[in-house]
Amino acid sequence: MEYNLLQLAYVGDAVYELEIRDYLIKQNIVKTKELKTISLQFVSATRQAFYLNKLQDKNIFDEEELEILRKGRNVKVNSKPKNCDIITYHHATALEVLIGYLYTSKNIKRIKELIEEIIKIYNEEK
């Protein structure tokens, strides 16, 4: 079955957030408020766009992934971002599209690799 880009973004958003939540609970963070605060450092559109740019700087995407990211950046979104500009929102959507594509392609290993890279970037900033 083939999915459209907005469907891939929808799935990718859920998978990405679940992976981040999994990482956070493995850090033995038990306070809900702290979990929410830290998770926003990963899952907000602004932060997703930031991580995508950092990953691109590392040149870790293959040609197929770069094409999916390009399409994801250019998808017409049905909603207006609340806390960021439209360009940032499109970059965040691109990351979600890629994660959704990898998930629907059953490439969980690659999702885990990308999440690990994002976590490294997060930890380098602290």
- What amino acid positions are annotated as catalytic residues? 13
**Dist. CA 115–CA 120, nearest whole Å:** 9
Nearest CA to 74 out of 86, 56, 85, 82 is that of 86
What is the rounded distance in angstroms from the CA atom of residue 76 to the CA atom of residue 56? 22
Closest by CA position to 46, among listed 88, 107, 105: 88
